[in-house]
A and B are shown apart, each in its own frame.
Chain A
Amino acid sequence: MLFSSVEFLYYFLPVVVALYYILPQPKASPKWRNLVLLVASVVFYGWGEPKYLLLMAAQVFSGWFFGLLIEKFRGRAGSRAALIGALAVGLGSLMFFKYTDFFVANVNGLFGAAFKLPAIALPIGISFYTFQILSYDIDLYWGKTELQRNVLTFATYVTLFPQLIAGPIVRYADVARELAGREHSLERFAGGARRFVLGLGKKVLIANVLGELVDICKTNGEKSVLAVWLYIIAYAFHLYFDFSGYSDMAIGLGHIFGFEFMENFNYPYIAKSVTEFWRRWHISLSSWFRDYVYIPLGGNRVSAGRHVFNILAVWFLTGFWHGAGWPFIIWGVYFAALLLIEKFALGRVLEKLPAFVSHIYLALFVLIGWVIFDAHELPVAFERIGMMFGAGVDGGAGGASLYYLRSYAVPLILAAIGSTRLPVLAVTALEKKAPRLMTALEPVCVGALLILITAYLVDGSFNPFIYFRF
């Protein structure tokens, strides 16, 4: 089920909120409310992928069961074996469902074989919930979190519908206390509602609209410099508003149900270097790889050569996590190369440059990265990158690209402004100057935005979530 759908907003959510808050809530034992969330999450996931409910249940049970074994054999070899078992099941499932076709295709390509591609469908959200389960077992093995003996509570953690299918990747250690007992307040509920509606607006009013522009640019056949720049700028904003909007919705829903999820984005497009960009983009994934791959490999407390290897390994895996295709791998390695260049050569230079130069540098290399990311095959990426700089184009601008630039100018400008801190600064300033006005303005804006979003959903529009495929 999509957050940005009529059935979620006006059927699922009202029922779940009502059931959740009707039930008694002893602070020390939210088991009934956890059960409501568990059942709701199963319905939420099963709505789109009923056949994969069993797979998710099996993975939940396996993660929980290996946790029991890790604890039972703590200090002995059995504990390590249990962790290896957990990793094998989790990563094995991920490899099978996400990467089998990729490996078979590459074996065919390399050795001239003709194995039939099994065409295994990717279960929605498997990359996210697998990483959540793994974080629990690894943290438990390292002694960073406590055992969860109740399988239903563990299942509630993994399947929690606000963040089940597109993150943020919530670690068990971060919500363990809230699963055992959490506070609810009107302030928290209202803040969650506000954040949810804002995220929904980012998704429906900006990301979807710019997604249409991306599709138009990719299919209208015009080969001009303006057309390819329009495409890639629209795609960059589309991706950001789609994914950060989803994260906002997840965090907002978390607040409504008493949870505090980590922030996943921090205005990445205002960064002045690639290093800074990756501290601000998909933070829960970057920190996951940092804590569970980079640091265990030795991080930066190793020789220079090993340090380079660690960075390359992490970014190879980051690219591969995003998709089973060479463009994703190249995209990951591309950022590894940029990070290494900044670390060993360019970092200090960038610090001394005027801010606008650094911003242009960052924008250029991130946009090239998105071209690779969005290409189904590498030659397409190379062709588009060439077109960005005038290679293989029919001209600077065509009638179609000029028309669409005009038609999408306002959404693009809103997206550019919305990618910065300006809106937050404006609201903060207004809050200081006219707090009474804000008391009235906030609910009016939330209501108006929700009605406007509903109008877009009811009228039907372009509405996929990009990160569902990861």
Chain B
Amino acid sequence: MTKARTSLRSVLTAAVFILIIGGFFILNRAVATPETLVSERRKPAAFPELTVKTLLNAEFMGGFDDYAADSFAFRDALRTVRAFSVFDIFMQTDKSGLYRDADVGAGKFGAVPEDAIRRTAAKIGAVAATLDGLNVYVSVVPDKSGWAARDYPGFDPDAARAILGEELPGLTYIDVSEALDGGSFYKTDLHWDQEKIVDVATLLGRAMGSQPETQYTANTVGEFSGVYPGQLALPMAQDTARYLTSDATSGAAVKYLDDKTLKWVDGEMYDLEAFSGRDPYDLFLRGAQAMITIENPSATGGRELYLFRDSFGSSLAPLLVSAYSKITLIDLRYVDARALPMLVEFKPGSDALFMYSSQILGAPEILLAG
């Protein structure tokens, strides 16, 4: 009797094992690889080139590893199984730094080494030294982790402020933390929600001696799903995307620098087509752009702002338009600081603001400066 039961168990165990490894072997051939891994916002690795050379130098094997994982049947469902396991079986509070928090939604924390901040400061300092006659300011975009229910280790804006103060004594630091809270950010994304950062624009404007307007019309675009649901592989309630308009923003003229032709091209401040693309945050000034100018014909005084920024600046800049006759957005990840004299005529007496999030402060090597 025992032997019979043992045999049945063996039959079932062997069958399950063979069914799973054999089943996925067949499924991985039968199920077509999608053109895009939508939840991860990237293309899957292609089948590697098979030649004698790629076999001998093991390039084929390395490429096949990536291809096999990316083209695996039910990839998204399996990623969700892992996320469920991490958070609900192993009770871990993050998955490689990605967390889901009761207060701020999903996010990612990561330590920003002091050395990296100092090197970023050196690059900022090198660019700032070229801005003769300008009032130069520096600020940091805090991570939303700072307002999370749990104390996640990672970026400390106060420590960053102290370091930047040491490294950049000639620049005026503007602390925007008091104008923010956990609700200022999308729950599904790392970025702040434009509708919730009017106070940030006001605070920055006051610190730089200007007075941006505070009354805007909120325009709803649709549901907004940021980067984190895909990275976490967990279903999440979506945010709502809204953008703010006023007479100043509606009357402003926006030009984008075409980084291939180096010519300025007219465009929209809020790109509804880009909202439907890979990253809905590209709604704001089309996402990653080397340089953008926003001219406000209704402004008086002719004062300009040069905003050295990362992606957070895209949704912030429209809220500063009313206070300046022209804002020039410069992303040093895509334009080399040495090329700026050829592209921008810095107007003495104007303002320059370096405003970066922890992602840039922790990766000074990506700034094309210094």
Q: Which of A180-194 contact B (CB under 8 A)?
A: 186-187, 189-191, 193-194
Q: Tell me which residues across on chain B come within 8 A of A220, comparing CB atoms.
A: 111, 153
Q: Quick check: A443 and B85 within 8 Å, CB to CB?
A: no
Question: With an 8 A cutoff between CB atoms, is B92 at the interface?
Answer: yes
A403's contact among B78, B91, B153, by CB below 8 Å, is which? Answer: B153
Question: With an 8 A cutoff between CB atoms, is B219 at the interface?
Answer: no
A7-B68, A220-B111 given; A407·B13 CB < 8 A: no
Q: Quick check: B82 and A193 within 8 Å, CB to CB?
A: no
- The residue on A at minimum CB distance from B56 is A50
Q: Quick check: A410 and B10 within 8 Å, CB to CB?
A: no
Q: Tell me which residues across on chain A come within 8 A of B72, comparing CB atoms.
A: 6, 10, 458
Q: How far is the CA of A457 from the CA of B79 in the complex (A)?
A: 9
A50's contact among B58, B83, B91, by CB below 8 Å, is which? Answer: B58
- The residue on A at minimum CB distance from B97 is A216
A187-B10, A190-B13, A193-B14 given; A458·B78 CB < 8 A: yes
Question: With an 8 A cutoff between CB atoms, is B15 at the interface?
Answer: yes
Q: How far is the CA of A459 from the CA of B78 in the complex (A)?
A: 7
Q: Which of A198-250 contact B (CB under 8 A)?
A: 205, 209, 212, 220-221
Q: Quick check: B91 and A409 within 8 Å, CB to CB?
A: yes
Q: Tell me which residues across on chain B come within 8 A of A444, comparing CB atoms.
A: 16
Q: Quick check: A186 and B22 within 8 Å, CB to CB?
A: no
- The residue on A at minimum CB distance from B94 is A407
CB B72 to nearest CB in A, in angstroms, measures 5
Q: Tell me which residues across on chain B come within 8 A of A410, comparing CB atoms.
A: 89-92
- The majority secondary structure among interface residues of chain B is helix
A212-B96, A407-B93, A410-B90 given; A443·B65 CB < 8 A: no
Q: Quick check: A190 and B14 within 8 Å, CB to CB?
A: yes
A10-B28, A221-B111, A450-B20 given; A455·B68 CB < 8 A: no
Q: How far is the CA of A96 from the CA of B25 in the complex (A)?
A: 41
Q: Quick check: A11 and B25 within 8 Å, CB to CB?
A: yes
Q: Tell me which residues across on chain B come within 8 A of A447, comparing CB atoms.
A: 16-17, 19-20
Q: Quick check: B233 and A459 within 8 Å, CB to CB?
A: yes
Q: Which of A82-126 contact B (CB under 8 A)?
A: none
Q: Tell me which residues across on chain A come within 8 A of B79, comparing CB atoms.
A: 455, 458-459
- The residue on B at minimum CB distance from A10 is B24
Q: Tell me which residues across on chain B come within 8 A of A439, comparing CB atoms.
A: 5, 8-9, 12
Q: Quick check: A411 and B92 within 8 Å, CB to CB?
A: yes
CB B285 to nearest CB in A, in angstroms, measures 32
Q: How far is the CA of A446 from the CA of B72 in the complex (A)?
A: 20
Q: Tell me which residues across on chain A come within 8 A of B61, comparing CB atoms.
A: 1, 47-48, 50
Q: Which of B48-104 contact A (CB under 8 A)?
A: 55-58, 61, 64-65, 68-69, 72, 75, 78-79, 81-83, 85, 89-94, 96
Q: Tell me which residues across on chain B come within 8 A of A75, comparing CB atoms.
A: none
Chain A: interface residue count, which band? 35 or more
Q: Tell me which residues across on chain B come within 8 A of A395, comparing CB atoms.
A: none
Question: With an 8 A cutoff between CB atoms, is B220 at the interface?
Answer: no
- The residue on B at minimum CB distance from A456 is B82
Q: Quick check: A193 and B12 within 8 Å, CB to CB?
A: no
B153's contact among A6, A400, A438, A455, by CB below 8 Å, is which? Answer: A400
- The residue on A at minimum CB distance from B55 is A50
What is the size, in residues, of chain B's interface with A at 8 Å between Cβ atoms? Answer: 53
Q: How far is the CA of A5 from the CA of B62 in the complex (A)?
A: 12
Q: How far is the CA of A326 from the CA of B14 in the complex (A)?
A: 46
- The majority secondary structure among interface residues of chain A is helix
CB A462 to nearest CB in B, in angstroms, measures 8
- The residue on B at minimum CB distance from A438 is B9
Question: With an 8 A cutoff between CB atoms, is B300 at the interface?
Answer: no
B11's contact among A186, A409, A458, by CB below 8 Å, is which? Answer: A186
B1-45 vs A, CB cutoff 8 Å, 1 = contact: the mask equals: 010011111111111111111101100100000000000000000
Question: With an 8 A cutoff between CB atoms, is B152 at the interface?
Answer: yes
Q: Which of A432-470 contact B (CB under 8 A)?
A: 435-436, 438-440, 442-444, 446-447, 450-452, 454-461
Q: How far is the CA of A407 from the CA of B61 in the complex (A)?
A: 35
Question: With an 8 A cutoff between CB atoms, is A406 at the interface?
Answer: yes
Q: Quick check: B9 and A442 within 8 Å, CB to CB?
A: yes
A454's contact among B16, B24, B56, by CB below 8 Å, is which? Answer: B24
Question: With an 8 A cutoff between CB atoms, is A51 at the interface?
Answer: yes
Question: With an 8 A cutoff between CB atoms, is B273 at the interface?
Answer: no
Q: Tell me which residues across on chain B come within 8 A of A450, comparing CB atoms.
A: 16-17, 20-21
- The residue on A at minimum CB distance from B28 is A10
Q: Quick check: B58 and A48 within 8 Å, CB to CB?
A: yes
Q: Tell me which residues across on chain A come within 8 A of B65, comparing CB atoms.
A: 5-7
Q: Tell me which residues across on chain B come within 8 A of A414, comparing CB atoms.
A: 90
Q: How far is the CA of A11 from the CA of B19 in the complex (A)?
A: 14
Question: With an 8 A cutoff between CB atoms, is B178 at the interface?
Answer: no
A439-B9, A456-B82 given; A189·B64 CB < 8 A: no
Question: With an 8 A cutoff between CB atoms, is B151 at the interface?
Answer: yes
- The residue on B at minimum CB distance from A220 is B111
Q: Tell me which residues across on chain B come within 8 A of A1, comparing CB atoms.
A: 61
A11-B68, A447-B20, A451-B81 given; A51·B56 CB < 8 A: yes
Q: Tell me which residues across on chain A come within 8 A of B17, comparing CB atoms.
A: 190, 193, 197, 446-447, 450
CB A12 to nearest CB in B, in angstroms, measures 10
Question: With an 8 A cutoff between CB atoms, is A378 at the interface?
Answer: no
A10-B24, A14-B25, A410-B92 given; A443·B13 CB < 8 A: yes
Q: Quick check: B68 and A190 within 8 Å, CB to CB?
A: no
B2's contact among A186, A435, A459, by CB below 8 Å, is which? Answer: A435
Q: Quick check: A454 and B78 within 8 Å, CB to CB?
A: yes
Q: How far is the CA of A191 from the CA of B17 in the complex (A)?
A: 11
16 contacts between A and B (CB under 8 A): A5-B65, A10-B68, A14-B21, A17-B21, A186-B7, A187-B6, A187-B7, A187-B10, A193-B17, A403-B151, A410-B91, A411-B92, A438-B9, A447-B19, A451-B78, A452-B82
Task: List 6 additional A-B contacts (Cβ < 8 Å) besides A193-B13, A454-B78.
Answer: A50-B55, A186-B14, A190-B17, A410-B90, A436-B5, A459-B79
Using a CB–CB cutoff of 8 Å, the interface residues on chain B facing chain A are 2, 5-22, 24-25, 28, 55-58, 61, 64-65, 68-69, 72, 75, 78-79, 81-83, 85, 89-94, 96, 111, 113, 150-153, 233
